[in-house]
Amino acid sequence: MVATLLWRRPIAVVAASFAVSFGDEAWQGFIGSGGDPVDVIHNTAGALLGAALGWSLTIRRSAARSQHDAERKP
């Protein structure tokens, strides 16, 4: 959510979260501690929910700012 609020690119945030999660699980499989593909799915789903929440907050804040600016103009 924080990454979406900072960069306002929810698709990139979810893609990066997937890549990091996939890399982490691949590394765990490589070193022998047993990477679990279900963890990648769960981590990506969490990133998707967080990005959606961050995006909705961004849209809401933008709409409030636009309304405030419209009220200030004579």
- Output the pTM of the full model: 0.74
Which domain does 15 fall in, by range? 2-72
Residues of the chain with pLDDT under 50: none
The pLDDT value recorded for residue 32 is 85
| Euclidean distance between CA atoms 9 and 1, whole angstroms | 11
- CA pseudo-torsion sign 47, 53, 59, 62: negative
The pLDDT value recorded for residue 42 is 96
Domain tally for the chain?
Answer: 1
The pLDDT value recorded for residue 64 is 73
Share of the chain above pLDDT 90, in %: 49
